[in-house]
Structure 1
Amino acid sequence: MSLKIGIIGMGVISKFYVFALQNKLNDPLLTAVCDLNVERLENFNDSEVLCFSNYHDLLTREDIDAVIVNVPNDKHFEICRDALKARKHVCCEKPLTLTLKEAEELVAISREMNVTLFTAFHRRYNIHFVQAVEMLTSKEEIAAVHASYLELIEEHAGEDKWYLQPERCGGGCVADNGPNVFDTLSFFLGKMRVQAANIIRDEHHVDIKASIQLITNSDIKVHVELDWGYLHGEKKDVLIMLKNGQKIYVDMLEEFPEFKSSLYHEYEQILLDFKRQIELGNCHGEAGLDAVRLVQETYETENLKI
């Protein structure tokens, strides 16, 4: 039987889930949608998809197996917690939570209830990134890595103005984009720790730019550059420098000229991997937790020199 999914929160990212579920995949099956703003549900009024304005009502449905949590960052913990306790498998948009303590609690609940807790790190599924990682035979051949995640946040936020409210976003580019970059790197480099960070904030205390130095457990040096005020379109890339002098460059937006068009194939893979992790039964939020740890370390090591 198909995995029946409900989406909680129909903001700017929801369209990528909906497109994949309604146009690309037969399983999982989009069963319900939920948003406080009922206008966002109007496209589903004439369909078989159930509509809710209160996520608690959605969670009581026995015919819904799993939920996608796509709400402002400050609501992730509460809704994920309630969904896990309702024995629903959870796919949460990054970051998993705003604090390490909250992430640890969700991981514990996921294990206790024996349901999947999965974080939607879409860049690990980018076709160009996947092809680049397949070129590597071992981490031992890597000398250093540089990753950039540059954008103009107003273009990406759309109607979701909470991105620019630090108390809701968690800070700014470090809290929101940091987890995506950290996961992309950890995916092929393994465990990392932050050594130093330089963060620039605007007048509203939103961190809009950051330069972060990390190191892996095998002593590979990693540099991450984040920017929410990038005026030259969008840049999402990874440069892998090998010990033999060769370089592997990954432009995640290559062949995706339209704004956010790379997300369509990435979010399709998120849904397929979410279903796969549910079937395996051993995913309890570990990747999301580790990304939250690195965000916390970034803020804690701000302005340290190495």
Structure 2
Amino acid sequence: MIMKVGIIGMGVISKFYVDALKNKLKSHELVAVCDLNMERLKPFNNSEIFCFTNYHDLLAQKDIDAVIVNVPNDKHFEICRDALLAGKHVCCEKPMTLTLDEANQLVAISRETNLTLFTAFHRRYNIHFVKALKEFGSISEIKSVHANYLELIEEHAGHDKWYLQPERCGGGCVADNGPNVFDTLSFFLGKMVVTSANITRDEHNVDVKSSMNLKNDYGVTISVDLDWTYQQGEKKDIYITLKDGREIYIDMLKDFTEFKSSLYHEYEEILIDFKKQIESGCCHGEEGLDAVRLVQETYEAEVSKV
């Protein structure tokens, strides 16, 4: 059965969804797009894809099964809530919400409506990451893990200037990049808690760097470095040290020489998994909620340190 999809928000990440929906996936169909900026809708004007400037009009379309919420972070809660209440399955860009209370509300609505609430954590589908996880058998074999998520935010954000507005982004690199890293690590380390955080902010109160330490139930030593001021392009990697002395290095950008080109295959997998989760009926935002919890713990760890 073909899943009919609408995209709300046509910012920098939307092109990866559009490419997968229009060029790669036969089991999905892009039927509608929505953005406040008419210029972003122009590429779809001469197609069979419906264009809207008000997301409520898109949600009113009865033939749309699911929506992708790709708007500034501060609008995630409102639009995800309205989409679920309109009877649509939801795939939301990370972070699911800016507060833990909002995340809990969305999970409750998803369960009450029996609709899927899915967060687009794309790095868990990275081909190098998936391959590397086959090199060991269980969490009990792991001694320590370190992850880097480094980029120059101005290059990533493009015209989406809200990334650098703390009230819209949620803070900065912790609120926006943190969920991706936390999910990638939780995917193979299980539930984690933040034990300490060191955050650097710029003159606009945007957190541009953060170093965090975490722990899980297996005693693995976990550390994360985030950086939005990285001048050498991008660095998205993970170092895993096993108890037997072996080291596993995962460079998630290896062989992806074009800027952000790794996202094409990752977003294709997001959409495939989204459809699977809808069919299973068991996904109600729990993983998105957990990432929001870890973001909150990071900010709280810094406060308690001071």
Structure-2-length-normalised TM-score: 0.99
Deviation of residue 303 (structure 1)? 6.2
Equivalent in the alignment of 1:104: 104
Aligned to 2:70: 70
Taking the TM superposition and a 5 Å limit, the aligned residue runs for 1:141-160 are 141-160=141-160
Q: Secondary structure at the match of 1:62?
A: coil
SS across alignment from 1:118: strand
* Count of aligned positions: 305
**Residues 1-306 of structure 1 correspond to what in structure 2 (within 5 A)?**
1-302=1-302
Letter matched to residue 283 of structure 2: C
Task: Give the deviation of 1:28 after TM superposition.
Answer: 1.2
The 3-state SS of whatever aligns with 1:284 is coil
Residue 101 of structure 2 aligns to a residue in which SS? Answer: helix
Whether the 8 Å contact between 1:199 and 1:303 is mirrored in structure 2 is: no
d(CA) in 2 for partners of 1:54, 1:303: 39
Query: What is the distance in 2 between the residues matched to 1:284 and 1:34?
Result: 24
Partner Cα distance (1:288, 1:221) in 2? 23
Partners of 1:135 and 1:109 in 2: how far apart? 39
SS of the aligned residue for 2:232 comes to coil
Deviation at 1:11, TM superposition (A): 0.1
Q: Distance in 1 between matches of 2:148 and 2:137?
A: 23
Equivalent AA in structure 2 for residue 261 of structure 1:
S
The separation in 1 between residues aligned to 2:47 and 2:22, in whole angstroms, is 11
Counterpart secondary structure, 1:76: helix
| C-alpha displacement of 1:27 | 1.5
Any idea what the Cα deviations from partners look like across 1:171-206, whole Å, max 9, x if unmatched?
000000000000000000000000000000000000
Deviation at 1:238, TM superposition (A): 0.5
Note the residue ranges of structure 2 that are not aligned, 5 or more in a row: none
One-letter amino acid of the structure 2 residue matched with residue 200 of structure 1: T
Distance 2:238 2:303 in 1: 24
Distance 1:98 1:176 in 2: 9
CA distance in 1, matches of 2:67, 2:95: 16
Compute the displacement of 1:91 (Å).
Answer: 0.1
Task: Give 2:260's aligned amino acid.
Answer: K
The alignment yields a C-alpha RMSD, in angstroms, of 0.8
Q: Secondary structure at the match of 1:278?
A: helix
**TM-score by structure 1 length?**
0.99
The Cα of 1:218 is off from its aligned counterpart by 1.4
Partners of 2:193 and 2:94 in 1: CA distance: 19
Relative to structure 1, the CA distance from residue 202 to residue 262 in structure 2 (aligned partners, 3 Å threshold; closer, same or farther) is same
In the aligned structure 2, how far is the partner of 1:156 from the partner of 1:130?
24
Q: Secondary structure at the match of 1:288?
A: helix
Moved over 2 A (4+): none
CA positional deviation for 1:26: 1.2
Name the aligned partner's letter for residue 245 of structure 1.
G
CA pair 14-137 structure 1, distance change in 2 beyond 3 A: same
Q: Percent identity?
A: 73
Deviation at 1:87, TM superposition (A): 1.1
**1:148 Cα deviation from its structure 2 partner:** 0.2
User: C-alpha distance in 2, partners of 1:60/1:140?
Assistant: 49
User: How many angstroms does 1:38 deviate by?
Assistant: 1.1
1:303 & 1:225 partners in 2: Cα distance? Answer: 18
SS at 2:302 equivalent: coil
1:66-105 Cα distance to aligned partner (Å, 9 max, x none):
0000000000000000000011000000000000000000
Contact 1:198–1:303 (CA<8 Å) still a contact in 2? Answer: no
CA distance in 2, matches of 1:304, 1:136: 36
- Provide the rounded CA distance (Å) in 1 between the counterparts of 2:73 and 2:304: 27
1:108 counterpart SS class = helix
Displacement of 1:239: 0.5
Deviation at 1:304, TM superposition (A): 5.5
Structure 1, unaligned runs of 5 or more: none
* Residues in 1 aligned to 2:303 and 2:212: alpha-carbon distance in whole angstroms: 10
The alpha carbon displacement at 1:250 in A equals 0.1
**What is the rounded CA distance, in whole Å, between the counterparts of 1:303 and 1:248 in structure 2?**
34
